[in-house]
Chain A
Amino acid sequence: MSESIAKYPHPGRTRAIKNFLRQFLGYGGAQLGLICLVFFLVMAALPNILVGPLQTAINATGDFLAPPSGDHLLGTDEVGRDVLNLVVHGARISLTIALLATLISLIVGTTVGMTAGYYGGRLDVWLMRLTDFFFVMPSFVLALVITPVVVEVIGRGQEILGFRPSLFVILVVIGMTSWAFVARIVRSQTLSLKERTFIDRARVVGSSNLSIMARHILPNLVPQIAANGALVVAGAIYVETSLSFLGLGDPLQPSWGTLLSLAQRAGAASAGAWWYLGAPGVCVLTVSLSFVLIGNALDDTFNPRRRVIP
């Protein structure tokens, strides 16, 4: 199939992508969001090149709680670690967790939503009740309950797929609690798509249900999934930060939330160490804001009618 297609260029597709980019980048929010995002992604991708290996209490170089200076651009923490170093390394953990959790959420949400919407009937009812259940499940309580169990079972100091157990739990919990939102949106869109004539045509030409879902419905869902996916990432970053702040993070793989938690415990606020609290805080804020901006711009691009009336 792909060989025969490859022979013919797709001027239409290229043009469509160009049009989309022109419109998407026309939104100031999208530009700002993308610039911030690229900045943080570079940080997350190359922490060792940018600031050297992650500092611990053993190889810490600075004074205790020293304010920003030439040596330590963002000051130091209570054991003398460079805050810039910690924040850059934290970017990797925070972004990885948020993006992987979003991936889980989108895959589960799309599968459940599309299946429920497409098949309808009793399957729809049961899948939607399941969705409701996950919809109201509080991620905080769930994470707090599951973490000790997982740590106990796996054993302290072990890793699951390269994540410390508590981070892995956070990842799974965010994925589990955010897919319901995606499933609802995907289902409603599927309900309207499946009534379109091209689905009837696909049936008449002998396409299977699976192929109709994969080749006809899913491609038409991409705009919704992309726009909402960006919002799910923003939510995931917040939840990850809050859970880590509550102490579910891992000191060996510190995320921004873990840093905030450490700062709070070190009494950074009362000691006037604004750099220690401020640096990870601003990072969380900027990244989630840029995802929201991108999500809204995607939504506006794909669905311009939505925001005509403010």
Chain B
Amino acid sequence: MPDTADILRLESLQVHFPIQGGLFDRVLGRPAGAVRAVDGINLNIGRGEIVALVGESGSGKTTVGRLITKLAQPTGGKMLFEGRDMTSVQGLSALRPYRHRVQMIFQDAYQALNPRHTVFDIVAEPLRSLRLVDNATQLADRVSEALASAGLNPPGDFFARFPHELSGGQRQRVVIAGALAVKPQLIVADEPVSMLDVSIRAQILQVLVELRKKHNMALLFITHDLPVAWLIADRIAVLYLGKLVEIGSADEITFNPRHPYTVALRNATPQIGANAGRAELPALQGEVPSAARVPKGCRFHPRCPVALDRCRQEEPPAIEVGPKHLAACWLADERPCST
């Protein structure tokens, strides 16, 4: 029997984009490579749960969001929504019920809003295209309700505005209202606050937290910012080069990280009043390797400060290091993993 406690289940989901080799490669019979953008992810999201997906740029976190919202098609693995296999469902009519339940909040609110549509049209678009309303009055009511939930009050004042007439925070609220209008059960938020001023950030996060409280909406919060993730999420999943390296409760990941990458991420966060001097921030060496050339063994070993020989040969499995706390590191059991 499928586990229906989880609203969404990703089972070794992967996206490999093939690299077209040149004519020379093909003549020589060299195997075509692939960009392993997402390389086998297992992740569950419970009803009404907020899960943060943390990773640096190039880790594949946006691709995960696009897979869940069906903007991209996985090349392997499975995606179950409420126990139903959604992996290969495609086409507008087949996806309509899914779109009704899963919505997305985009990173760049200015880009995500058509400059030629009014706020009313933007928020009404999902209601119209998913045919969730019968008449104009109902439509106006639902739009008002969504705008109010996103904190745009009074909603009527915003109906006739265009995106360029709004502030950055208001724009992001419109994007949120557009996702809320259909009352989804899961929202994928792709860096919803990274483009906003710090002062507005807190307000937007507050809106998201309240929505969860009110509608028991699950949220996959994609971010590169560990403190923000800790602030909002119940659980945090850390993504590195297309694979989850650590997953656990927000407190565990933030205060008791077991994977050296998580440790490095946490140490790289500037803190006001930190003991270390002002200009000293232990930085991780090097860049994320290209997803077209994933290192052998543990994918983090070239940058890992505590890498062993074993790490260069064998890929570590996810080891349970605490209650519901998994880390994919050979050293995860041996504490302390200090860097």
Decide whether A and B assemble into one complex: yes
Q: Which residues of A contact B (CB under 8 A)?
A: 1, 3-5, 7-13, 16, 196-198, 200-209, 211, 215-216, 219-220
- State whether B114 touches A4 (Cβ < 8 A): no
With both beta carbons as reference points, the residue of chain A lying nearest to B138 in the complex is identified as: A4
With both beta carbons as reference points, the residue of chain B lying nearest to A4 in the complex is identified as: B136
For residue B86, CB closer than 8 A to chain A, the reply is: no
Total A-B pairs, Cβ < 8 A: 91
- State whether A9 touches B160 (Cβ < 8 A): yes
Out of A5, A200, A206, name the residue touching B129 (CB < 8 Å). Answer: A206
Complexed CA–CA distance, A205 and B106 (Å) = 12
- The residues of B that contact A3 with a CB separation of less than 8 Å are 136
- The residues of B that contact A7 with a CB separation of less than 8 Å are 140
Complexed CA–CA distance, A215 and B160 (Å) = 17
Contact count band on B: 35 or more
Complexed CA–CA distance, A121 and B114 (Å) = 25
- State whether B160 touches A220 (Cβ < 8 A): no
Complexed CA–CA distance, A211 and B108 (Å) = 23
- Shortest B266–chain A CB gap in Å is 30
| Known A205-B178, A206-B99; contact A197-B92, beta-carbon cutoff 8 A | no
With both beta carbons as reference points, the residue of chain A lying nearest to B139 in the complex is identified as: A4
- State whether A197 touches B108 (Cβ < 8 A): yes
With both beta carbons as reference points, the residue of chain B lying nearest to A216 in the complex is identified as: B114
- State whether B69 touches A204 (Cβ < 8 A): yes
For residue B167, CB closer than 8 A to chain A, the reply is: no
Query: Which of B66, B137, B159, B175 has the most chain A CB atoms closer than 10 A to its own CB?
Result: B159
- Shortest A208–chain B CB gap in Å is 5
Chain B 66-81 against A: per-residue CB contact (8 Å), 1 yes, 0 no? Answer: 1001110000000000
- The residues of B that contact A10 with a CB separation of less than 8 Å are 118, 160
Complexed CA–CA distance, A11 and B104 (Å) = 29
Complexed CA–CA distance, A1 and B121 (Å) = 9
Q: 4 tightest A-B contacts by CB? A: A205-B126, A4-B136, A197-B111, A206-B99
- The residues of B that contact A1 with a CB separation of less than 8 Å are 124, 128, 136, 139
- The residues of B that contact A16 with a CB separation of less than 8 Å are 162
